[in-house]
Chain A
Amino acid sequence: MLSIDGVVAGYGGTTIVQGVSFEVPAGECAVLVGPNGHGKTTLLRAISGLIKVRDGRIEFDGDEITRERAEKIVERGLIHIPQGDLVFPDMTVAENLQLGAFTKSAAKRAKARIEEVYEIFPRLLERQAQRARTLSGGERRMLAIGRGLMGDAKLIMIDEPSLGLAPVIVDEVYRQLRRIVDSGMTVLLVEENFRRGQTLADRIHLVENGEIIRSGGADDVLDDRAVRETYLGVSE
């Protein structure tokens, strides 16, 4: 579904993603795991067209999208749910969700989709008339995920869904992510926490210094002794 081949990207004079290659097959959940500041978010921003890809090639659903504009990539069904607080602060929850279905094809199904989102995150239904800036951090994250689900997605990229949230809220968010993965959606998840990512992953890619240092099934990677030491703090 998504194929990344030797992608290089960065900001200004700094190169952050140093030639990354991997694939996300249809219907699977791939997880990029690695410490903060090692290029996971930059990679997602390059895939979704927010920043320029300097080298390499990205293919989605059989077509090359390496240098396409962000809006075109969204129309193709590659939806990026960004990290942190990228909601529209002065719009209501309902308006935020509505904008998630901006593309023409998604707009047609917006009515039914918004019901689904409210069913997944009942909290958003309660808060639908409230401005997004008045929501708590957890609610905003749910809003960002719900807004992503409003689109006509073939593949959803989710960036650090648990970042900065209380553990109880993270559990809740991950329960809903489990549902999304189980529904057969193709997912590319970025997660700092190995254990969390592992619960959803069909395949894990370890990212360090802008490169993928190891890939494999969730359990294969875990068996690796170096990985256990670096990511789980277990020394043997």
Chain B
Amino acid sequence: MNLVLQTLVSTIVQGSLLALITIGMSLVYGTLRVLNMAQGVMVMVGAVAAYVTVDGLGVSPWLAILVAVLVTAVLGMLSYGVGISRLIGRAGVDFEMTAFISTFAIASIVQNLVQLIYGPRQKDFPVLLDGRITLTEGVSITLHQILTAVIAVGALALLGLFLSKSRYGLAIVAVAQNLDAARLMGIPARRAYVLTMGLAAGLAGLAGVLLAPVYFVSPTMGDLPLLQALIVAIFAGLGSTRGTIIAAYIIGFVQAAVSIFWTSTYALPVLYALIVVVLIVRPYGIAGKPQEARL
């Protein structure tokens, strides 16, 4: 019984974080049809930015959240300007593939720059809230875990509200659903792309701060989140936001269950096995639709 409860707690925390990271990839894929390989690096940059603010400037970790989100959002928009926008609509260029490689290059450059400036060592980041609550005999949840879930779910809810109610949110959704129709409504597609890239990176940056006290802060801390996000994205079907959230919790559950009932060493291999099955049975994921190239 305790193990079941523990699995549940872990699922909620892990799932919320995964959703936060993957939803950005999904949005970017939805509007730009680019598989954004820089999403993991944004997680890392968020954590490093928060670490530098707290350690270097002595500011409260809470304020560091804001700094991390801003820094990553700006970096996301910059990477669109540098690595993606110039590839759009170029004759003779396979946009999807070129932009995919371009985001990979951006990730590599950013990661190495951070390593150069900040060094490869792992650093500690303070938890935002200290303490834990005992649920039953032997099962407890840390306040940081609760905070992580609350902030992640809150951010996702705000995102949902933004996409369904605001002018520019609707513009992003419209571009994702039908690019030509969106442009004929007077929706500035390029502005929607920039905004999406900023939004996606900012969400990853937020996840980075929440992950920082759990993992250590280091230039490679975004590698595993990127892998996990790719698994969630494939499982969900690229471009589907609702599917992404469902998939994030399913993957979070599988990971938690394997770790708790078996051993954490097998968590990733089991997920990969699951992905192979998904790809064979339903190549476009649980909620995705088969899609065509368009840019």
Q: Which A positions have Cβ atoms within 8 angstroms of B?
A: 12, 48-50, 69-71, 74-75, 79-82, 86-91, 95, 98-100, 102-103, 106-107, 147, 151
Residue from B171, B173, B177, B185 in contact with A74 in the complex, judged by beta carbons closer than 8 Å: B185
Size class of the B contact interface (CB-based, 8 Å): 10 to 19
* Cα(A107)–Cα(B177), bound, Å: 21
14 other A-B residue contacts (CB within 8 Å) besides A48-B184, A49-B183, A95-B170: A50-B180, A71-B183, A71-B187, A74-B185, A81-B184, A82-B181, A86-B178, A86-B184, A87-B178, A99-B185, A99-B187, A102-B167, A102-B186, A106-B186
The answer to whether B91 has its CB under 8 Å from any CB of chain A is yes
* Cα(A98)–Cα(B188), bound, Å: 16
Which residues on B sit within 8 Å (CB–CB) of A91?
173-174, 177
Q: Which B positions have Cβ atoms within 8 angstroms of A?
A: 91, 167, 170-171, 173-174, 177-178, 180-189
Residue from B173, B178, B183, B185 in contact with A50 in the complex, judged by beta carbons closer than 8 Å: B183
* Cα(A88)–Cα(B181), bound, Å: 8
Which residues on B sit within 8 Å (CB–CB) of A151?
185-186
8 contacts between A and B (CB under 8 A): A12-B91, A50-B184, A71-B189, A74-B186, A82-B184, A86-B180, A89-B177, A102-B170
- Tell me if A102 and B185 are in contact (CB < 8 A): yes
Most buried by A among B178, B181, B182, B186: B186
When A and B form their complex, which 6 residue pairs have the shortest distance between CB atoms, in order from nearest? A74-B186, A86-B181, A70-B183, A103-B186, A88-B177, A71-B188
Which residues on B sit within 8 Å (CB–CB) of A107?
167
Which residues on B sit within 8 Å (CB–CB) of A82?
180-181, 184
What's the least CB distance linking B32 to chain A, in Å?
Answer: 17
Most buried by B among A48, A71, A95: A71
- Tell me if B186 and A75 are in contact (CB < 8 A): yes
- Tell me if B174 and A99 are in contact (CB < 8 A): yes
- Tell me if A100 and B178 are in contact (CB < 8 A): no
Closest chain A residue to B184, Cβ basis: A80
What's the least CB distance linking B267 to chain A, in Å?
Answer: 34
* Cα(A71)–Cα(B191), bound, Å: 11
- Tell me if B181 and A102 are in contact (CB < 8 A): no
* Cα(A80)–Cα(B180), bound, Å: 11
Most buried by B among A49, A81, A91, A99: A99
> How many interface contacts (CB-CB < 8 Å) are there between A and B?
64
Which residues on A sit within 8 Å (CB–CB) of B188?
69, 71
What's the least CB distance linking A8 to chain B, in Å?
Answer: 16
Which residues on A sit within 8 Å (CB–CB) of B178?
86-89
With A48-B184, A147-B185, A151-B186 in contact, do A102 and B171 touch (Cβ < 8 Å)? yes
Closest chain A residue to B171, Cβ basis: A102
Which residues on A sit within 8 Å (CB–CB) of B171?
102
- Tell me if B177 and A102 are in contact (CB < 8 A): no
Closest chain A residue to B92, Cβ basis: A12
- Tell me if B180 and A71 are in contact (CB < 8 A): no
With A88-B174, A95-B170 in contact, do A100 and B180 touch (Cβ < 8 Å)? no
* Cα(A80)–Cα(B189), bound, Å: 16
Closest chain B residue to A90, Cβ basis: B177
Which residues on B sit within 8 Å (CB–CB) of A48?
184
* Cα(A82)–Cα(B180), bound, Å: 9
Closest chain A residue to B190, Cβ basis: A69
What's the least CB distance linking A106 to chain B, in Å?
Answer: 8
- Tell me if B181 and A74 are in contact (CB < 8 A): no
Closest chain A residue to B175, Cβ basis: A88
What's the least CB distance linking A112 to chain B, in Å?
Answer: 18
Closest chain A residue to B191, Cβ basis: A71
- Tell me if A87 and B170 are in contact (CB < 8 A): no
With A12-B91, A99-B170 in contact, do A71 and B186 touch (Cβ < 8 Å)? yes
What's the least CB distance linking B230 to chain A, in Å?
Answer: 24
What's the least CB distance linking B258 to chain A, in Å?
Answer: 34
* Cα(A100)–Cα(B189), bound, Å: 15
- Tell me if A70 and B184 are in contact (CB < 8 A): yes
* Cα(A168)–Cα(B22), bound, Å: 48
Closest chain B residue to A86, Cβ basis: B181
What's the least CB distance linking A9 to chain B, in Å?
Answer: 14
Which residues on B sit within 8 Å (CB–CB) of A102?
167, 170-171, 185-187
